[in-house]
Structure 1
Amino acid sequence: MNKVQDFLEKKLLPFAVKLAGQRHLAAIRDGFISFMPFLIIGSIFIIIQDFPAPGWQELQTKLFGPGFNQFIILPKRVTYDIMSIYIVAAVAYKLAQSYKIDAFSASLLGIASFILVTPITTTIEIDNTVHTVEKVITVGGWYGTQGLLVALLVAIISTEIFNYFIKKGIIIRMPEGVPPAVSRAFSALIPGFAVIVFMLLVRLAFLQTPYGYIHDFIYKIVAAPMTALVANNLLGAVGTVFAISLLWCIGLNGGAIVNGILRPFWVPLQEANLAAIEQGLPVPNIITEQFFDMIWIGGAGATLPVVFLLILRAKSKQYKELGKLSLAPGLFNINEPIMFGLPVVLNPIMMIPLILGPVTITIVNYLAMAANIVARPTGVILPWTTPPIIQGFLITGHWTGAVLQLVDILIVGAIWWPFIAMADKQRYEEEQAQAQIEE
Structure 2
Amino acid sequence: MGSFVSTFERIMMPVAGKISSNKYLLAMRDAFSMLLPFIIVGSFFGIIEWVVLDPWGTIMGENGLNLGKSLSGGLTGDAYKVSSFVGTMQALQGLCNNVVTVGFGCFSFLLVAAFSYRLGGIWGGDKFSTALTSVGAFIIITPQQIIGKAGDKMGAFSLDYFGNKGVLTAIIVATVAAWIFVKLSKNEKIRIKMPETVPPAVSQSFAVLVPVLITLSVFTVFASILSQAQFLGKSALNDLIYAIIQAPLMGFSQGIGFSLLYQFIVWFFWWFGIHGHNVTAAIQNMVYMPAQLANQAGDASYIFSNGFFEAGLMHVMGLVIAIFLFSKKDSWRAVAKLGAPAMLFNIQEPIAFGLPIVLNPILLIPYILAPLANTVVGWLAVSAGLVPIFKYVVPWTMPLFFGGTIGTGSIAGGLLQVVWLAMDVFIYAPFVIAANKIKDEEEE
State the identity %. Answer: 22
- Residue 39 of structure 2 corresponds to 36
Q: By how many angstroms is 1:150 displaced?
A: 1.8
Secondary structure, counterpart of 2:153 in structure 1: strand
Distance 1:367 1:25, change over 3 A: farther
Gaps in structure 2 of 5+ consecutive residues: 69-76, 344-350
Q: By how many angstroms is 1:360 displaced?
A: 1.9
Equivalent residues of 1:8, 1:346 under 8 A apart = yes
Equivalent residues of 2:242, 2:286 under 8 A apart = no
* 1:361 aligns with one of 374, 377, 402: 374
C-alpha distance in structure 1 between counterparts of 2:260 and 2:272, whole Å: 14
C-alpha distance in structure 2 between counterparts of 1:6 and 1:264, whole Å: 35
- Residue 72 of structure 1 corresponds to 93
Letter in 2 for 1:294: M
Distance 1:423 1:111, change over 3 A: closer
State whether structure 2 residue 221 is matched by structure 1 residue 201.
yes
- Residue 237 of structure 2 corresponds to 214
Equivalent residues of 1:390, 1:402 under 8 A apart = no
TM-score, scaled relative to structure 2: 0.66
- Residue 155 of structure 1 corresponds to 174
- Residue 326 of structure 2 corresponds to 310
1:49-60 alignment runs, 5 A limit: 49=54, 51-52=57-58, 53-54=61-62, 59=80
Secondary structure, counterpart of 1:174 in structure 2: coil
Secondary structure, counterpart of 1:293 in structure 2: coil
Equivalent residues of 1:60, 1:68 under 8 A apart = no
C-alpha distance in structure 2 between counterparts of 1:200 and 1:336, whole Å: 39
Equivalent residues of 2:134, 2:177 under 8 A apart = yes
How large is the RMSD of aligned CA atoms in angstroms?
A: 5.1
Distance 1:159 1:351, change over 3 A: closer
State whether structure 2 residue 198 is matched by structure 1 residue 178.
yes
Gaps in structure 1 of 5+ consecutive residues: 312-318, 383-388, 435-439
Distance 1:67 1:414, change over 3 A: closer
Of stretches 82-91 and 56-65 in structure 1, the one that deviates more from structure 2 is 56-65
1:228-377 alignment runs, 5 A limit: 234-239=256-261, 254=271, 256-257=273-274, 259=276, 262-265=279-282, 268=285, 272=289, 285-286=305-306, 290-291=310-311, 293-297=313-317, 302-307=318-323, 309-310=325-326, 328=337, 331=340, 334=351, 356-365=369-378, 373=388
Distance 1:255 1:294, change over 3 A: farther
Distance 1:139 1:120, change over 3 A: closer
- Residue 409 of structure 1 corresponds to 421
C-alpha distance in structure 2 between counterparts of 1:104 and 1:88, whole Å: 12
TM-score, scaled relative to structure 1: 0.66
Q: Deviation per CA, 1:297-356, whole angstroms, max 9, x where unpaired?
A: 2xxxx4335335538xxxxxxx5989977863674663799999xxxx767xx9876765
Distance 1:168 1:196, change over 3 A: same
State whether structure 2 residue 122 is matched by structure 1 residue 101.
no
Q: By how many angstroms is 1:158 displaced?
A: 0.8
Equivalent residues of 1:206, 1:214 under 8 A apart = yes
Equivalent residues of 2:8, 2:361 under 8 A apart = no
C-alpha distance in structure 1 between counterparts of 2:128 and 2:404, whole Å: 35
Of stretches 193-202 and 72-81 in structure 1, the one that deviates more from structure 2 is 72-81
**How many residues get paired?**
391
C-alpha distance in structure 1 between counterparts of 2:46 and 2:404, whole Å: 10
Q: Deviation per CA, 1:12-48, whole angstroms, max 9, x where unpaired?
A: 5444433334333333343344042454256243443
